[in-house]
Structure 1
Amino acid sequence: MQEASFSGLLRTIMWVIAFYYIFKFLARIFLPVLVKKAVEKAGENFQRQQQYSQGNTWQNTTRKNNDEIIIDTTNAKNPRETKKVGEYVDYEEID
C-alpha cells in the first residue's frame, strides 16, 4: 500500500495548473479560427437553402398568358385557429 506524500500533492497541483494555462493559451490561438470556420459554414448552408427555396418557388410559377402569372401555393402555411376551451372565471378567496 502506498502513502500519499506532500511532494506528490504539490507535483499534481503543478501539473493541473500547467495544463490549465496550456489549454487556455491554445484556446486563444485555435478557438477564433474554429468559430470563424463554423460561421462561414453556417453562412454557406444559409445561402444554399435560400437558393434552393428561390429555385423551388420559381419552378412552381407558371405563365399562361403574357399578362397572367399563377403561383402554386400548396406549401403556404395557413394560420390555425386557436381552440377556445371554456371561459375565464374571476374568483375571490373566502376567509
Structure 2
Amino acid sequence: MKIEVLTDADSVARAGAAFTAEEARAAVAARGRFIVAFSGGHTPWTMLRALAEERMPWAGVHVVQVDERVAPAGDPDRNLTHLRESLLAHCPLR
C-alpha cells in the first residue's frame, strides 16, 4: 500500500481521478469493462469533474449510483443532478 499526503482537496480529487482512470484502463483491457459506483454528497463532485478530463475507455465503462435523494428531476438536492453536471455531461457514455 502506498500512502500519499496531499496538500489540498483539489490535489486529492485529481489523484483520485487519475487512479480511477488507470484502474479503468486496466480493467477494460483485461475484462472488457469497468463498473464504477459513485456515492452522492458534495465530496465526489471535484473528483468527478477531474475524471471527465482523464483518458478513460468510456465505451467499456458502466457508471452506477450508490444512493439517491428523493427530489424532482434536475433538483440540486438530487445526487444524479450533480453526477450529470460533473461527469456524465462531459463523457461519451451510452
| Greater helix proportion | 1
Higher Rg of the two aligned structures: 1
- Alignment TM-score, normalising by the size of structure 2: 0.26
| Greater strand proportion | 2
Structure number with the bigger relative contact order (C-alpha 8 A, sep ≥ 6) is 2
